[in-house]
Structure 1
């Protein structure tokens, strides 16, 4: 019934708000002004810089197919460092590290992770700052990456924990993306249930002025995405669209800024253009030129380019 549906939605929003307040208290960011609800100004700014054209995943062809990354184990995420025009891949096993790569998949630097656990996703935020997820705790740690190979420590770093639909299994925060112009973080929860969250005002809050707003876009996933899970998400600043990656379905899915389906592309079968199916695709990102990069466990690197 309509009244019951509205009550259920209201109750869920209250629960999400309470969960985020608790998380922020743990992070030690109390006594600041917190603005809830839809941040129309940041969304408008994000959409102003977005072009009207789509990414059109079906138009991409394979350029690099399953290139092994030496010394890497269990690659679980990848992001584009737009300040240094390079890629940053993260692994969660043997040992956990961030590996800096050229856009051709060559190793440039290695950064050992200290004090992190179950690192599944990474997002570059600008000015040397990255966000790293802990899947089990559903936590985001915000740290600075060294200028050269070295250690990245979790101890003492700012963090945000969102205890929403916590799951005892390995089914928590699996994907992460950042929209620099809109100062928005997108977080993908793997499954049971599949969920997509948006947190606005992250960089501004880390700068000392807390103005976080949490939005639940799970309805986008329920309505438009039929994949078995969500392994990662990336944001394309040129279009304002999202690209979602499914490890189980071995598929990329494009959604527009309002969560509507736009295009998709398989990473398995004859239509994929790959010599062999991507065994376990876990991370996806895009560079400034619109090229798409994917990492698959254990240590495979892929590059897709739009056909000219």
Structure 2
């Protein structure tokens, strides 16, 4: 075998090197040192996400996250990170999900990979509601925030979240007497505008100011009371009030009588409000129900035909609302009611929801209640005051009545009339089905229905079908009207005579209005109206005038001759 002479030398050198190394560490009997490798630092990732329809930004401490633009970062293990949210204008932060939850602070340790989502939502657009202020006496009211400055500007629209504070300012010689409506007492008047609101500020004359006398006279059987108190006529018919006091008189007919009219400082048969800037005299005339001699044949056309341009077309029914002193005209096919004052100046409109589109007639009932009928043979009772801009005919919001089976074709309910309640009688409702002159046995013949309104309202639909609403026909309309009226377009109850006045859009003999006894169907008087388009509705105005509305958009007034 081959033997290298250098191998033995190499072995000796290695052994010597090992000896030297062991000696340096304490010799052959010492401890061998432990060699420690350098520590390795581990990183973890953080992912941030934004969700929702709103806008916002997330930042972090420790620095690294600025999300919208930079939404991920790597952090050394065990780093403590806090996320901060900032919502942009028009948005609201709606909470964390992922490694943070809820609405509170978002802080965590980066011991593992983490992810967090922040939700931003769009702020709700606030709804708007109306504030109406009335001043009684001599003074004014201002608001914070601005909007009300009532002497001149007494109404304003505010966002529903707005808090409004009203301040009453008395004129010289007057003292603020208190709030009523949305506020009461004489202290602060502060409220939110979550609903439409009305407030009245009353100012009274200081003692020692001038006084004026109010004298009330009665004709017929009834009495008159006042607000503020003082008049109770039958017993006390004369009262002195401080100068400029506004007095409201209320007529209270005895059984079997109705208020026929006011005269003197008040006129017509509506509300009687008197300002006592001088001495005033008022007469209240009461007449026995059904005993007056008012006949429609004695009415004549007054003035020119009035065009109500705001409606455009399809005016279908009219009623006078004495509580707000306005005419209300309903349009079919659009479910809209239009407001007009006594002179037919336009005042605004009311949208109708949850009522069949083909609204054909309406009638004031009492207080602010108005009954609307549609061609599907339903009636809906809604509330209308001087401020409302929409009404809802749904079962949860109004009283509904199903009067009759819906006929075929366009021949359903066309008009409605109401007789006010008395101490012994409920409100009586009369409605007419248009009919098509096919005879009494036809499902689409002319019909008159009547029913009494339950009191109080059950706020569920009452129907002739299940017997919850008792509907009758007081007489056969085809037998009564068949020789004169081709159809029935509208009607109104006349409290002066206890009669019904029926209107036809088409006639056979030239006569298109009939005055009828509602119990027997006996025709009392006749009238031919003309000068406008197709007549669709009739009401009695504040001064006893007969007011007719016609398609497309005209009004014709007849006055007692």
TM-score interval, normalised by the smaller of the two chains? 0.7 to 0.9
Shift of 1:216: 0.7
1:188 aligns with 2:429: no
d(CA) in 1 for partners of 2:528 and 2:477?
20
For residues 69-88 of structure 1, what are the alpha-carbon distances to aligned partners after superposition, in whole Å with 9 as ceiling and x for unaligned? 12113110011212223211
Match of 1:286 in 2: 540
Q: Are 1:216 and 2:216 matched, yes or no?
A: no
Report the alpha carbon displacement of residue 261 of structure 1 after superposing the two structures with TM.
0.4
Query: 333, 336, 353: which is aligned to 1:97?
Result: 336
User: Measured at CA, do residues 243 and 96 of structure 1 come closer, stay the same or move farther in structure 2, by a change above 3 Å?
Assistant: same
Q: Which residue of 1 aligns with 2:485?
A: 227
With normalisation by structure 1, the TM-score equals 0.74
Large movers: runs of 4+ above 6 Å: 44-48
Name the TM-score, length of structure 2 as normaliser.
0.42
Label 1:169 to 1:190 Cα distance change in 2 as closer, same or farther (>3 A): same
Q: Write the mapping of 1:1-308 to structure 2, written as runs, cut at 5 A.
A: 50-72=289-311, 73-93=313-333, 95-116=334-355, 117-135=357-375, 137-155=376-394, 156=396, 157-164=398-405, 166-181=406-421, 182=425, 183-191=427-435, 192-200=444-452, 202=453, 204-206=455-457, 213-219=470-476, 221-224=478-481, 226-249=484-507, 251-258=512-519, 259-268=521-530, 276=531, 278-307=532-561
Secondary structure of the equivalent of 2:476?
Answer: helix
Deviation (angstroms), 1:248: 1.2
More strand by share: 2
Alignment CA distance shift 1:246-1:289 (3 Å): same
Residue 6 of structure 1 is matched in structure 2 by none
Cα distance, 1:219 vs structure 2: 2.0
2:198 matched residue in structure 1 = none
Of Structure 1 and Structure 2, which has the larger fraction of its residues in helix? 1
Q: Give CA-to-partner distance per residue, 1:53-83, whole Å, 9 cap, x none.
A: 3431121111143211121131100112122
- 1:105 counterpart SS class: coil
Which blocks of at least 5 consecutive residues in structure 2 are unaligned?
1-254, 259-286, 436-443, 463-467
Instruction: Give me the CA root mean square deviation.
Output: 2.6
Give a deviation string over 1:92-111, Cα, whole Å, max 9, x none: 13x43111222222212311
